[in-house]
Structure 1
Amino acid sequence: MPIDNSIVHQIHKKPDGQPASLTLREQELANSEALEQLLAGLIETYNSKPNKAWGYFHEESGAYPFSGWLQQLIDEELDFVGFSKQATEHLKTLMEGSNLALGGHVLFIRYRQGMTAFLIIALLHHTEGVTVTEELEVAAARHLDLSALNMAARINLTEWKQNATSKQYISFIRGRSGKRVSDYFRDFIGCQEGADPEAETTTLLQAFQDYVGEADLPAEELKGKAKAMTSYVNSQSRQGEQVALEELSGVLDEENPRAFYDYIRHKDYGLAPEIPADKRTLNNFFKFYGKADGLSISFEAHLLGERVEYDEGEDALVIRHPPKGLVQQLRNRKR
């Protein structure tokens, strides 16, 4: 992934209501192997985050100036250092309005993946660890903690400029469990939510269920299509890519690659050609899971009626051909 521009600044702030301060870098970072490793690790961590939202810019205004500065950068009216400084100063101001906001290093990287240009912005923090030195001494080592990433956004610059109607060219990490801690970071980007990954995935799964239901497919063929869909969607999610419905249609049926895509268009499910997917919604759809009183059971949906049956009258679950490891444990317990 070629890196076009990168820089890092620092915001000093503790979650105690005190004013924040800045340390601004005056030059772009030089491209290096370490920087490339950082970008690769950052993207891998970012893509793995399940709690992302997708959206698009608010109209540029005093409250949401970021898109205007970004446009100036693209038009070469503002250089990358100047753009990043203005953005970081704006982020500091918004942080001061949140008692829970914690300072850190603000990383800006503009890079290309294939023919697509991206800008990723992340607030990074350090963690303390240990290392063994060349002298074989154990010493403290401070390093960036990408595993704790919870303030980051990625902008698909190519889609933003080429698709004026798109409402999903920005993705950002959303706070979990209704927490509003990260709202200031979303407002810093000036992003409003467009596509809802959970709702979009639910609609896609309903379309799939309707499609295979009308086709009245044999059990084995249905199982194969379900696995193909799960594999494709999870692969796209790992790469940070959206689900392309036409491409998914080809994965589901190589002999008639447009069948599922045309079905969705004809039935008008309201899905865009590309949608963000929610892995949890997908996996829950194809899996039954329950846990209570020390008992935990999960199995793939296609096994119901084959190796797993539920007797409603007896309120009992019958499992045929249980895993060999489990069987061996049960046998050992009887001895």
Structure 2
Amino acid sequence: MPIDNSIVHQIHKKPDGQPASLTLRDAELANSEALEQLLAGLIEAYNSKPNKAWGYFHEESGAYPFSGWLQQLIDQDIDFVGFTSKASEQLKTLMEGSNLALGGHVLFIRYRQGMTAFLVVALLHHTEGVTVTEQLDVASARHLDLSSLNMAARINLTEWKQNATSKNYISFIRGRSGKRVSDYFRDFIGCVEGSNPEEETNTLLQAFSDYVGEASMEPELVKDKAKAMTGYVNSQTRAGEQVGLEELSGVIDEEQPRAFYDYIRNKDYGLNPEIPADKRTLSNFMRFYGKADGLSISFESHLLGERVEYNESDDALVIKHPPKGLVQQLRNKKR
């Protein structure tokens, strides 16, 4: 992933209502192996976060100046240092209005992945660890804690400039403690939340269920198509990419690559050609799970009607060929 520009500034703030301060770097970071490793680790951590929201820019205004500064950067009316300095000042101001906000290092990286340009903005914190030195001593070691990343956004610059109707060219992480914690960061980027990944994924899964149901497909064929679908969607979410419905259609049926895509369009499910996916919703689609009164049951959906049967009149679940380990425990209990 070639890096075009990168810089780090620092906001000093504790979640105690005290004023924040800002330390600005006056030059871009030099490209290095360490910087490339940081970007790779940051993108991996970002893509793994399940609690992301998607959207697009507010119309530029005094309350939402970020997109205007970014446009100036693209038009070369302002350099990268100037753009990030203005943005960091704005972030500091918004942080002061949130008692829950905690300062940190603000990282800006503009990079390319294939033909697509991105800007990632992340608030990073350090954590204390230990290391073994060259002298074989054990010593404290401070390092960036990417595993606890919870304030970051990524903007698809190419889609923003080339697709005027897109509602999903910005993604950002929701705070772990709930939406309210990340509101100031969303407002800093100036993002209007567009698609809801959970709702979009549920609609996609409903469309798939309707599609295979109307086609009266054999259970084994449905299973194969479901696996193909989930494999593709999971690979997209791991890469931090949206799900392309036309591409997905080709994955589901190579012989009729547009069949599922045309079905969605003709039935008017209200899905855009590309949608963000929710990994948790997809996982639940592939499994049945229930827990109550000391009983916990979980099984893959394709087993229903094969090794697992539900009798609605008796409200009974029959499990055929249960796991050998469970069977042995039950036999031991009888002795």
Using the TM superposition, give the Cα deviation of residue 177 of structure 1 relative to its aligned residue in structure 2, in angstroms: 6.4
Match of 1:137 in 2: 137
User: Distance between the aligned counterparts of 2:101 and 2:91, measured in 1?
Assistant: 11
Cα offsets for 1:255-304 (capped at 9, x unmatched): 11110011111111111110001111112122111123333221111111
User: Residue type matched to 1:304 in 2?
Assistant: L
Match of 1:210 in 2: 210
C-alpha distance 123-315 of structure 1, shift in aligned 2 (>3 A)? same
C-alpha distance 64-105 of structure 1, shift in aligned 2 (>3 A)? same
Match of 2:250 in 1: 250
User: Distance between the aligned counterparts of 1:316 and 1:98, measured in 2?
Assistant: 52
Indicate if the aligned counterparts of 2:131 and 2:141 stay in contact, CA closer than 8 A: yes
C-alpha distance 43-329 of structure 1, shift in aligned 2 (>3 A)? farther
Match of 2:101 in 1: 101
User: Distance between the aligned counterparts of 1:37 and 1:331, measured in 2?
Assistant: 53
Match of 1:23 in 2: 23
User: Residue type matched to 1:65 in 2?
Assistant: P
Using the TM superposition, give the Cα deviation of residue 175 of structure 1 relative to its aligned residue in structure 2, in angstroms: 3.0
SS of the residue corresponding to residue 153 of structure 1 reads strand
Q: 1:35 and 2:27 equivalent? A: no
SS of the residue corresponding to residue 180 of structure 2 reads coil
Using the TM superposition, give the Cα deviation of residue 176 of structure 1 relative to its aligned residue in structure 2, in angstroms: 4.6
User: Distance between the aligned counterparts of 2:129 and 2:48, measured in 1?
Assistant: 23
Using the TM superposition, give the Cα deviation of residue 322 of structure 1 relative to its aligned residue in structure 2, in angstroms: 2.1
The 5 Å alignment of 1:187-198 reads: 187-198=187-198
Indicate if the aligned counterparts of 2:172 and 2:186 stay in contact, CA closer than 8 A: yes
Q: 1:238 and 2:235 equivalent? A: no
User: Distance between the aligned counterparts of 2:23 and 2:177, measured in 1?
Assistant: 33
Q: 1:3 and 2:8 equivalent? A: no
SS of the residue corresponding to residue 180 of structure 1 reads helix
C-alpha distance 331-138 of structure 1, shift in aligned 2 (>3 A)? farther
Identity of aligned residues (%): 86
Match of 1:162 in 2: 162
User: Distance between the aligned counterparts of 2:14 and 2:293, measured in 1?
Assistant: 42
Match of 1:302 in 2: 302
Match of 1:288 in 2: 288
Root mean square deviation of aligned Cα: 1.4
User: Residue type matched to 1:134 in 2?
Assistant: E
After alignment, is 306-315 or 185-194 more displaced? Answer: 306-315
Indicate if the aligned counterparts of 2:150 and 2:176 stay in contact, CA closer than 8 A: no
Q: 1:226 and 2:220 equivalent? A: no
Match of 2:92 in 1: 92
User: Distance between the aligned counterparts of 1:37 and 1:190, measured in 2?
Assistant: 29
User: Residue type matched to 1:41 in 2?
Assistant: G
User: Distance between the aligned counterparts of 1:279 and 1:289, measured in 2?
Assistant: 16
In structure 2, list runs of 5 or more residues that go unmatched.
none
Match of 2:81 in 1: 81
Using the TM superposition, give the Cα deviation of residue 310 of structure 1 relative to its aligned residue in structure 2, in angstroms: 2.0
In structure 1, list runs of 5 or more residues that go unmatched.
none
Using the TM superposition, give the Cα deviation of residue 190 of structure 1 relative to its aligned residue in structure 2, in angstroms: 0.3
SS of the residue corresponding to residue 251 of structure 2 reads helix
After alignment, is 277-286 or 210-219 more displaced? Answer: 277-286
User: Distance between the aligned counterparts of 2:61 and 2:194, measured in 1?
Assistant: 19
Match of 2:113 in 1: 113
SS of the residue corresponding to residue 181 of structure 2 reads coil
Cα offsets for 1:84-112 (capped at 9, x unmatched): 11000100000000011000000000000
User: Distance between the aligned counterparts of 1:296 and 1:134, measured in 2?
Assistant: 51
Paired positions, count: 335
User: Distance between the aligned counterparts of 2:328 and 2:248, measured in 1?
Assistant: 40
Cα offsets for 1:27-75 (capped at 9, x unmatched): 1111111111111111011001111010000000000000000000000
C-alpha distance 205-46 of structure 1, shift in aligned 2 (>3 A)? same
Q: 1:48 and 2:48 equivalent? A: yes
Q: TM-score, normalised by structure 1?
A: 0.97
Q: 1:326 and 2:326 equivalent? A: yes
Q: TM-score, normalised by structure 2?
A: 0.97
SS of the residue corresponding to residue 254 of structure 2 reads coil
User: Distance between the aligned counterparts of 1:179 and 1:83, measured in 2?
Assistant: 27
SS of the residue corresponding to residue 182 of structure 1 reads helix
